[in-house]
Amino acid sequence: MAVGVFDSGLGGLTVLDALARRLPDVPFVYFGDNAHAPYGVRTHEDIFNLTCAATQRLWDEGCDLVILACNTASAAALKRMQETWVPPHKRVLGVFVPLIEALTERQWGDNSPPREVAVKHVALFATPATVASRAFQRELSFRAIGVDVEAQPCGGVVDAIEQGDEILAEALVRSHVEALKRRMPAPEAAILGCTHYPLMQKVFQDALGSNVKVFSQANLVAESLADYLSRRPEMLGSGQMSKFLTTGDPASVSSKATQFMRKSVRFEAAYA
């Protein structure tokens, strides 16, 4: 009954943590493609191929349902995967839609036509590849009209977090917020469009100001998955064990993940 969770590196652990708390009886298999991180500076073709390979590995672990806990993969690869690659008996879901449903105050699975919403000025902080894909704007347009989105590609932030350099990560976040506010001085809401960014949420909030509502993904994705599985329990796969897989060096990744999550996390090699 395992569910797969994929990320290019460590950021998806923030989503996994929320999923495990919301669904304590479900085993989760986490796949971090640390050897190829970060994805945010790769081509869409690279991202597609790497994401498909990781998803196949999770299917091999008995995870018929895979969550792309990576905004870059969700933005650059998911639509093509669903249209051309995923077989009918498997599912691959992204992390954008629950966030947009929360922003637009729609119920899970509400497919009614787009409508006016209260928030008109939204700041989006994401990797360069996610920003370039315009996937967030595309998904938002299916649900809301009249929303101005200003996107800021946050180069360097993921690298700094993955390297454990919190001082550099904080400096970069403040610089990126400053750059965005020069173009949109008064955002009403901010989207943290990368699963690494919740680790810097307090810094984003401080730089943006207390009057800006900051939306982060982990709990929203967990709630959305719980709802999905209540409607589609047959998508729980045959896997029985929770585990952490990485394409990187397991000892090094485990050490960084433990620092990252402030609790012991032990990875094993994805391809033995």
Q: Residue 137, exposed/middle/buried by CB under 10 A (0-12, 13-18, 19+)?
A: middle
Catalytic sites, residue numbers: 70, 194
**How far is Cα of residue 12 from the mean position of the Cα atoms in its chain?**
6
